[in-house]
């Protein structure tokens, strides 16, 4: 039988793991201060650039970049601890 496997389709186990990862990430994001959540929201949901976010918040581009980087490190720490 000639059948090609579709690599894009997840197994039920993979779907469950993905759902659990998303839930853990959402819990970790909720632990962040409001300003850090706002930066993540503007960057990942609204797809603003760091420069645009700096304009919205009235801070420098480098400051937004610093906060963004620190926030990602915090999230990694939260997720490792979970």
Q: Indicate the pLDDT class of residue 7, thresholds 50, 70 and 90.
A: confident
Distance in angstroms (rounded) separating the CA atoms of residues 29 and 44: 12
DSSP 8-state code for residue 31: T
Distance in angstroms (rounded) separating the CA atoms of residues 55 and 77: 29
pLDDT tens-digit map of 13-47: 989 999 999 999 999 999 999 999 999 999 999 99
Distance in angstroms (rounded) separating the CA atoms of residues 74 and 24: 13
pLDDT tens-digit map of 52-75: 999 999 999 999 999 999 999 999
25 close to 32: Cβ distance less than 8 angstroms: no
Whether the pLDDT of residue 4 is over 80: the answer is: no
Backbone angles phi, psi at 11, to 5 degrees: -75, 165
Q: What's the pTM value of the predicted model, to 2 decimals? A: 0.78
């Amino acid at each position: 039988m000639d059948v090609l496997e579709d690599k894009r389709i997840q197994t039920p186990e993979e779907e469950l793991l993905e759902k659990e990862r998303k839930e853990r990430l959402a819990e970790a994001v909720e632990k962040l201060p409001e300003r850090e959540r706002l930066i993540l929201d503007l960057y990942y949901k609204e797809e603003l650039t760091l420069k645009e976010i700096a304009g919205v918040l009235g801070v420098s581009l480098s400051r937004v970049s610093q906060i963004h980087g620190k926030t990602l490190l915090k999230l990694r720490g939260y997720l490792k601890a979970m």
